[in-house]
Each structure stands twice: as structure tokens, then as C-alpha cells.
Amino acid sequence: MKKTVLCVWFGAMFLIGLAQNPPSWLSENHRELRYPDEVFITGFSEYIVENGKTPQDYIERAKGDAQADVVKKIRVKVEATTQSNIATLNANGKYSESESFASQASTQANAEITGIKTETYFDPKANIVYAFACVNRYELIGYYKSNLSLNISQIEGFLQTAQNLEAQHEKAKARQQCEAAQALFDKIRNAQDMLTALDGTVSTDDLQQNKITELHNTATQLLAQLAQGIYVYVESYEDLFGVPVDITGNKLKAELALNGCSFTDNAEEADFYLTLRTSVRESDRNEDFVFCYADATVELYDNHKQKAVYSDTVSDKSGSNSQDKAARKAMEYVASKIAEKLKNWLE
């Protein structure tokens, strides 16, 4: 009995606590005066508490809706800014950049807005839960300016490291640094669009557009440099009836070189790591003619993706007047087969 009384008492105290001192933000006129659009972005929601439900059942839902209202208002402005930028780029004939803007629109629309403050209130007489959310426009502008500068600084660091690595002929590591820099340009674009949407007076200098364009050009040029010729490290194990040889590996390199591949003895600077294991076997004889098979297991590992992208077992057959000649030819044939299969992966 005592437990029941205590529960009822605590429940009553909760409702009284919620009901005390109705907040001034309940009034639409007050919200407009106290939180003007030029300084604040606000959201508001309300829920009637249905029979059998408690205010607690609606508190989080109301808060979520009020916050969503804030995000929606910013989202509309961001999307309008994005579309405006797309139109400008299209007018200048920069279709690839235009597509880049368009592809990011959905990401920007769903951007999380930091610094949203939310309050709730339950009116026991009306049996309604209210929620009010707001964010200070200038605090948000300050956040995105800092975010913009931080990402620019990180890109500068990645590109400087990439240039140092390229000078040391560590091409694979240099490319990884460039790709890390490239990934940050999406965040920069989002911050720029947020700033443009939030501050109608934002300038090109505020957006650091010249520096960003310079960094973007540097990253693009550096990646193009690093993409000139793919570097492959080849690890080959070949057995010609008990004799170690490098027939398949040499033939494979010669054919892949025609496809623009270069080869390195340093596995760390390679774009791809190729493992090749080849053995031979005699299949049959016909009078003075011998037929042999070469069986090769191949695996291609992409150092950038950090995973194997291709693996297979390939066989081919050849004949000659001696076992050695037949096996050697079969090893060359199997190398040509492998090269054909790898060309699509090494472009």
C-alpha cells in the first residue's frame, strides 16, 4: 500500500514539476520577438496526450519533431544554395562540378546540426506536451567557419605528406594521402554551403574559395601524376620439374608492360602485389612428341584497397619434341592467359 502511495506521489510531483511556470516560448508572438529569424533558427511541436498514455510517452517524440523542424528550415536553405550553385556551374559549362554538387545535395540535406537547444513543457489542463528547439545562427556560422579551416588544414597536411612520399618514390603511400585529402573536399563543400545558407553576406574570402580551389587543383594534379603507370610488385615461385625458373613471371611482366604497367622491387611502393605460383606436369606422349601442362595460381592484391581483388587457377597445355620444351611453352602460354585476365584490373 505504501509503495502505491509513493508511486502516485512521485507521479504527481513529476506532473506538477512539468506544469510549473509555463515557459514564455509557448506564445508564438513571444517566440517571434525573443528569437528573431535573423539570429535564431527555431522549431516547435506539440502532442495531445491520448487516453492511457502519459506525458513521458510524448516528451522524446516532441523534442525530436522540434529539432527536425530546425533541421528542415536549414535544409531548405542548403538545398536552395546547392541548386543555385548547380545553376551557376551549368551556366559556365562546368558539368562535372555540377554533378558533384548534385551528388552531395542529399548528404547536405541530412547534415547534423550542432548546438540545438531543446526545452519541453507539459500543460496538465490542456493535456498537451510542447517542445521548443532553437540554435543560434551566429554560433552555427562560427562552428562551420572553424570546421572549414580545420578541414583545409588537414588537406594541406595530407598533400604535403603525399608530395614528400612521392619524392621518396613511395607511390602507393603518396596516393593514399591524396585519397584521404580528396575525401575531405566533400566536408568542405558542405561547410561552404551551410555558411552560404546561414549567412547571406558571406564572402568568397570567408569561404576561403581561392585556397580551396588551389588545394583541389594540387590534389587532382598529384593524383594524375601518381596514376601515370601502375606499379606492380611480382612475387613468383616456379617449378620446372624440380628446377626453379622465372619463365611465367618474365613473360607476364612483358605482356603487362604493354598495358602500361611498371614493376618495382619495393612491395611498399607498389599499387598491386601479384603472387604467382607455377608448376608443370606431363600429360601424355605421342611417339616422339610430349605434351605438358602448366598450372598457375595467381592472386592480385590491391594495396590501396587493402584487399585481394582477383584470384584464380589457370592452366594451359603445349607440346614439343622434349619434355623441357613442352613445359616451357606451356608456362609462357599460361602467362599470356593470366595477363589477359589481369588487364581489366590493372587499368
Residue 154 counted as domain residue: yes
Instruction: Please list the pLDDT of the chain residue by residue as tens digits (347 residues).
Output: 444 443 434 344 444 344 457 899 999 999 999 999 889 999 999 999 998 889 999 999 999 999 988 888 887 777 766 565 545 544 444 434 433 333 343 334 345 677 889 999 999 999 999 999 999 999 999 999 999 999 999 999 999 999 998 887 677 778 889 989 999 998 998 888 888 888 878 888 888 988 999 999 999 888 888 777 678 999 999 999 999 999 999 999 988 888 778 788 888 878 899 999 999 999 888 878 999 999 999 999 998 888 999 999 999 999 999 999 999 999 999 999 999 999 888 86
In this structure, which amino acid lies at residue 303? N
Contact 97, 88 (CB under 8 A): no
Q: Which CATH number covers residue 301? A: 3.30.160.150
Residue 284 counted as domain residue: yes
Residue 322 and residue 235 share a domain: yes
Q: Which of 198, 206, 204, 219 is nearest to 111 (CA)?
A: 198
Residue 347 counted as domain residue: no
Residue 144 counted as domain residue: yes
**How does pLDDT run across 234-272, given as a tens digit for each residue?**
999 999 999 999 999 999 998 888 877 878 888 887 889
State which residues form the domain around 147: 139-226
* Residue 214, H or E segment: helix 209-226
Residue 184 counted as domain residue: yes
Residue 239 and residue 219 share a domain: no
Instruction: Please classify residue 324 by burial: count the beta carbons closer than 10 Å to its beta carbon, then call 0-12 exposed, 13-18 middle and 19+ buried.
Output: middle
- C-alpha distances (whole Å) from 301 to each of 184, 247, 270, 289, 341 are 26, 21, 10, 39, 14
Q: Which CATH number covers residue 76? A: 3.10.129
Of 112, 136, 160, the one marking the end of a domain is 136
Contact 193, 78 (CB under 8 A): yes
Residue 82 and residue 12 share a domain: yes
Q: How many residues appear in the chain? A: 347
Of 136, 159, 178, the one marking the end of a domain is 136
Residue 288 and residue 213 share a domain: no
Residue 98 counted as domain residue: yes
Three-state SS for 223-273 is HHHHCCCEEEEEEEEEEECCEEECHHHHHHHHHHHCCCEEECCCHHHCCEE
Residue 222 and residue 158 share a domain: yes
Torsion angle defined by CA atoms of residues 112, 113, 116 and 118, in that order, rounded to the nearest 10 degrees: -40
Give the number of domains in the chain: 3
Residue 104 and residue 7 share a domain: yes
Pairwise CA distance, residues 294 & 45, whole Å: 74
Residue 331 counted as domain residue: yes
The single residue listed with the C-alpha cell 514564455 is 24
Q: Which triple of cell numbers denotes residue 84?
A: 543555385
Residue 207 and residue 313 share a domain: no
Residue 168 and residue 66 share a domain: no
Of 181, 197, 226, the one marking the end of a domain is 226
Residue 151 and residue 128 share a domain: no
Q: What are phi and psi of 136, to 5 degrees?
A: -75, 120
**How does pLDDT run across 294-345, given as a tens digit for each residue?**
999 999 999 888 899 999 999 999 999 999 999 999 999 999 999 999 988 8
Residue 294 and residue 255 share a domain: yes
Q: Alpha carbon 218 to chain centroid distance? A: 20
Residue 298 and residue 309 share a domain: yes
Q: Which triple of cell numbers denotes residue 147?
A: 570546421
Residue 205 counted as domain residue: yes
Residue 120 and residue 150 share a domain: no
